[in-house]
Each structure stands twice: as structure tokens, then as C-alpha cells.
């Protein structure tokens, strides 16, 4: 839940991050986040006017000013400041600043700002400096608890989905069957039968005809048919004729060889892809069965199922 009334946005151009414990610069009086609270970090316009009178402590990162009532140089003031555990000679001076006895819980860190005090983390109930106030900066145990809660919610959601949506039964794949040769005597009876029923161009000489069974693709409503072609023709030409016969949209001339919409001619039952440049008499023989189908519609599983159907 957002709490817009808490904290302020850093006034440094390009930052604008929301900080729940913003710091006001004692020189330009603008408000900044913990990372840009020092004049040198936000390019303070007043910094150049006071740099000769101030030093920055490399332990606590605070500004140090030598006292006026004691003859003490700036370097000596810095040394005394460090000996006092970063409590003396802070700039700007303020009699209202309370001494901070608590230290940052992160081992070895002395970075708690004495004017701001420690930041209390509700996740682990510990105190930290500005630099370690975020849970991720001090490896807060609340992060592990958050991950555990997320995991529990995820598992509960998965369980609810599993109960709500029962697994659907697997759909049976349509097995494309070729027409087997029924003759027991060299196929002569079957060949005579197909010759009496086969469709083809009358211009093809009887001696040049090859008779095959043709099955159309799934998208076609044309049933298995017996047809004949000129055996001197190529497989590619036969594919075009079969596509017209099955009333299938044929765009092979515009499709790449790997396009799933590309039509191929398969020899059944082993589903061998016929080479379009081969002649029909080289690729097929009488009473063979061929299937016209798109590449993307014939998967290896379908091929295995079909081979099983013929065993």
C-alpha cells in the first residue's frame, strides 16, 4: 500500500527518489535522499563558499568545522572528531543534537548520522544507518519470509487451478490410412479394378499410365480416389494436379522449403517424402498410395501412428 504523505522526493535533478528519511542540506536547505545528502554528492551551490572552513570525515561522511572558541586547526578538529566516535565538531552546530549510543547493526559499520539517528527496520527489529536501512542492504530475515509467503501463495494457486480445471482427455489423432492392395495374385485383379474406376486425362496413352490411390489433406473434403498419370511426368507436376483435384490452395511456388504451409507428396505407409524432380515411374509403381499434405500437418507422432496402423 502506498503512503504518499510519508517521506519526500530527492531534489537532485535526475534522482527524484522517494526517501522516508530525507535530509535537508545545511547549506542550500534543499531536501535530498540518503545517497545525495552531502553537499559534495548533490553539487551544492553553497559548497564552494565554505569548503575552506569544512572537512568531510571519511568515517562517518559528515561535515566537520573547527570551533571558534578554541584555537584548533581544521585537521586537529577532524582528529578530535574521530576520537569522539564522530560526535564532536559537526556542521552545522546544534545544541539540540542528541548523542546516539546505538550503532548500525551491520558489523563494522559506524555510519549512523548523529543528527538523524538510527533507522529501525520492522522486518528484523534492528537499527541501521541510512546506508543499510533497506532490507536488501542488511540481508534482512524478512526477505526470506517474503519468499516463503510467495512460495506458499504460488503452491496454493496451483492447487486451486488443478482442482478447478480437471485435465482434459487427450484427443485421438486422426490416422491417415492408405488403401491396401487386396489382390493375393500379384495385384492383377486390383489393377483391373482400379483401371475401370481411375480418373485422369484421356490424352495420356494407356501404355504410359501409372495407376495410384490418392488421399487428400485434412483440410480437403475429397475422399480417397483412384487416379492415373503419365508416368513420364515429374512428381512435382503430379502434386499440382492432385492439389487441383482435392481443391487445395497451392502456393508452393511462393513458399520456402521449410514453410509449414508447403504441400508435399508422401508415399504411404512409410510417409516417405517424394522428390518433386523424380519421374513418377521412378518414384512409384501401380497400386501405390500417396498422400498430399502440408508439412506442418504431418508430425513424427502422426507418422508413427500411421506406421503402426499398417503393421
DSSP state letters, 48-111: HHHTTTEEE-TTT--EEE--SSS---HHHHHHHHHHTTS-SSBSS--TTPPP-----SSTT---
Residue 196 CB contacts under 8 Å (≥ 6 apart), including other chains = none
CA–CA dist 28, 132 (Å, integer)? 26
Task: Tell me the three state secondary structure of residue 294.
Answer: strand
φ/ψ (deg, to 5) at 193: -65, -45
Beta carbons within 10 angstroms of residue 151's beta carbon: 10
Helix-, strand-, coil-residue percentages of the chain, each rounded to 5: 30, 15, 55
pLDDT of residue 166: 65
CA–CA dist 280, 229 (Å, integer)? 8
* Confidence (pTM): 0.40
Q: What is the DSSP letter of 163?
A: H
Give the closest residue to 195 by CA, choosing from 286, 280, 284. 286
* Tens of pLDDT, residues 63-122: 778 777 677 777 888 888 888 888 888 776 655 445 555 678 888 887 777 666 788 888
CA–CA dist 193, 31 (Å, integer)? 97
Cell numbers 489393377 correspond to 191
CA–CA dist 49, 27 (Å, integer)? 10
Is residue 134 within 8 Å of 35, Cβ to Cβ? no
Block mean pLDDT (10 aa), the chain, length 311:
61 84 79 82 75 72 75 82 82 56 79 73 84 84 82 87 71 48 59 90 94 88 87 95 91 91 89 92 92 79 46 46
Give the closest residue to 239 by CA, choosing from 283, 298, 287. 283
Cell numbers 535522499 correspond to 33
Amino acid at each position: 500500500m502506498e503512503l504518499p504523505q510519508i517521506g519526500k522526493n530527492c531534489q537532485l535533478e535526475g534522482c527524484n527518489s522517494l526517501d522516508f528519511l530525507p535530509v535537508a542540506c545545511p547549506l542550500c536547505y534543499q531536501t535530498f535522499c540518503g545517497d545525495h545528502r552531502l553537499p559534495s554528492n548533490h553539487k551544492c551551490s553553497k559548497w564552494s563558499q565554505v569548503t575552506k572552513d569544512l572537512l568531510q570525515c571519511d568515517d562517518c561522511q559528515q561535515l566537520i568545522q573547527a570551533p571558534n572558541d578554541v584555537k584548533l586547526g581544521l585537521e586537529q578538529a577532524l582528529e578530535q572528531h574521530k576520537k569522539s566516535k564522530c560526535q564532536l565538531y559537526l556542521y552545522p552546530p546544534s545544541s539540540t543534537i542528541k548523542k546516539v549510543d546505538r550503532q548500525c547493526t551491520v558489523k563494522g559499520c559506524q555510519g549512523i548520522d548523529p543528527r538523524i539517528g538510527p533507522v529501525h527496520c520492522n522486518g528484523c527489529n534492528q537499527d541501521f544507518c541510512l546506508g543499510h536501512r533497506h532490507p536488501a542492504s542488511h540481508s534482512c530475515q524478512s526477505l526470506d519470509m517474503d519468499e516463503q509467503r510467495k512460495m506458499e501463495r504460488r503452491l496454493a494457486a496451483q492447487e486451486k487451478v488443478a482442482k478447478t480445471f480437471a485435465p482434459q482427455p487427450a484427443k485421438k489423432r486422426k490416422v491417415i490410412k492408405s488403401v491396401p492392395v487386396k489382390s493375393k495374385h500379384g495385384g492383377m485383379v486390383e489393377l483391373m479394378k482400379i483401371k475401370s474406376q481411375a480418373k485422369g486425362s484421356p490424352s495420356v496413352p494407356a501404355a504410359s499410365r501409372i495407376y495410384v490411390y490418392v488421399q487428400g489433406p485434412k483440410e480437403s473434403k475429397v475422399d480417397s480416389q483412384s487416379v492415373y498419370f503419365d508416368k513420364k511426368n515429374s512428381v512435382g507436376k503430379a502434386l499440382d494436379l492432385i492439389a487441383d483435384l482435392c481443391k487445395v490452395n497451392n502456393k508452393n511456388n511462393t513458399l520456402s522449403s521449410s514453410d509449414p504451409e508447403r504441400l508435399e507428396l508422401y508415399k504411404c505407409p512409410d510417409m516417405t517424402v517424394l522428390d518433386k524432380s523424380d519421374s513418377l515411374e521412378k518414384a512409384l509403381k501401380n497400386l501405390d498410395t500417396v498422400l498430399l499434405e502440408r508439412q506442418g500437418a504431418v508430425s513424427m507422432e502422426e507418422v508413427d501412428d500411421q506406421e503402426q496402423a499398417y503393421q
